[in-house]
């Protein structure tokens, strides 16, 4: 008598009828772990530990690379700012070598007055 949805042993894939004296082919569930190419539980745990260690190391390396990339970008910004300041200072040095700069310093700091100019002082009273 067949139940609904259950095949007889002769029709199920991978199953054989047992005859007297005949060799029995084991079903898939009957094959031991070592026979299927599997690993022992200790080996599985060891591989899992090594795998987790490698993944954690990779994650730490990625984080370190990202931090270094941020540091490099910050330093590149500093270098650009310092180059701009160096260029400004070089222009200022070149300006100090000109006659216009010498005249400017003589007027502002030394009080130079040209012969055709009338000197005056702000905020200074003359007389008693």
pLDDT tier for residue 75 given thresholds of 50, 70 and 90: very high
Percentage with pLDDT > 70 across the chain: 66
Total of domains in the chain: 1
Q: Is residue 4 part of a domain?
A: no
CB 27 within 8 A of CB 15: yes
Name the residue range of residue 58's domain. 38-110
Residue 61 lies in a domain: yes
Each residue of 53-70: b (16+ CB within 10 Å) or e? Answer: eeeeeeeeeeeeeeeeee
Q: Which two tokens stand for residue 89?
A: 């200072």
In a domain, 15, yes or no: no
The answer as to whether 10 is a domain residue is: no
Does residue 122 lie within any of the structural domains?
Answer: no
**Whole-angstrom distance, CA of residue 6 vs CA of residue 9:** 9
Would you say residue 1 lies in a domain? no
**Within-domain flag for 3:** no
Q: Alpha-carbon distance 114 to 125, whole Å?
A: 22
Q: Each residue of 50-64: pLDDT tens digit?
A: 999 999 999 999 999
Is 100 a domain residue? yes
pTM (2 d.p.)? 0.45
Mind listing the pLDDT tens digit for each residue in 88-117? 999 999 999 999 999 899 888 888 888 888
Cα–Cα dist 43/8, whole Å? 39
């Amino acid at each position: 008598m067949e139940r609904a949805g259950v095949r007889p042993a002769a029709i199920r894939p991978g199953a054989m009828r047992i005859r007297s004296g005949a060799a029995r082919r084991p079903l898939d569930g009957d094959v031991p772990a070592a026979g299927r190419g599997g690993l022992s539980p200790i080996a599985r745990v060891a591989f899992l530990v090594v795998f987790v260690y490698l993944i954690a190391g990779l994650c730490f390396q990625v984080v370190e690379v990202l931090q270094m990339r941020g540091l490099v970008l910050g330093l590149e910004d500093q270098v650009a700012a310092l180059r701009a300041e160096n260029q400004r200072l070089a222009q200022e040095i070149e300006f100090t070598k000109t006659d216009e700069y010498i005249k400017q310093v003589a007027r502002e700091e030394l009080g130079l007055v040209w012969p055709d100019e009338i000197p005056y002082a702000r905020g200074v009273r003359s007389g008693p």
